[in-house]
Amino acid sequence: MIKTETQGRVAIITLNRPKALNALCSELFHEINDALARFDNDSGIGAIVLTGSERAFAAGADIKEMKDTEFIDNYKSNFLGHWVEQINKLRKPLLAAVNGYALGGGCELAMMCDIIYAGEKAVFGQPEINLGTIPGAGGTQRLTRAVGKSKAMEMILAGSVNLDAQEAKTLGLVSAVFPPETLLQETIKTATKIASKGAVSVQMAKEAVNQAYELNLSSGLHFERRLFQATFATKDQKEGMGAFAEKRKPNFTHE
């Protein structure tokens, strides 16, 4: 249900359920998680791009798969838990290239990524309320942190208020908007730039930014400072600062 490829130090995962508009199901997430784990442990990969088709990044969860499940079974099996498990512990940067629909679980999947780039026709929404339920893979939490309480409430409670690409950019949900035909290459370009930096520092920087969502300011500043100090034990810090002083490009070895 996915396709994978690599370009230099960048891995690309493409959702591949075109007839279902890349609707998310358990089998698809198992494939995504397996690919993420493989690339996360590959020293030759420095960043990962996740994308779908031009028509849909992912149009939501596979309702047919979940409509007849019961609470007790969902609770005992931690239903949807495996959707976020691998992404939450991913060490390498994950960039989403979102074209077309990113609705429900598709919007949640995009928000699990570290950076979101959108095509001009991208649409973001959380319509679960129309199905008699609520977002279950981070929609109420990540969307609120990204766009603010009022807009998140409007989108989640009304179920019919979607964000187009430009509004998503204005609100801070996405970083940049590109024409659909160039979106993936622009995302790969940024991923390539990230992957060219020292891998240890990139991993530390990602960890520090993510902790901003978990810690109070004082604890966050302390956490950041300790990681900053730790970079001075790496070869890449010596190389980076040495290259700057010598007015040359650094040659990072990811050590």
Q: Which residues are catalytic?
A: 61, 105, 108, 128
What pairing do the DSSP bridges indicate for beta strands 163-164 and 115-119? unpaired
CA distance 55 to 119: 10
**Number of other CB atoms surrounding residue 239 within 10 Å:** 16
CA distance 56 to 245: 47
CA distance 152 to 126: 9
Residue type, position 234, single letter:
T
CA distance 126 to 135: 7
Residue type, position 101, single letter:
Y
Residue 98: strand, helix, or coil: strand
Q: Which of 141, 68, 74 is nearest to 107 (CA)?
A: 141
CA distance 51 to 158: 27
Contact 102, 21 (CB under 8 A): no
**Number of other CB atoms surrounding residue 25 within 10 Å:** 19
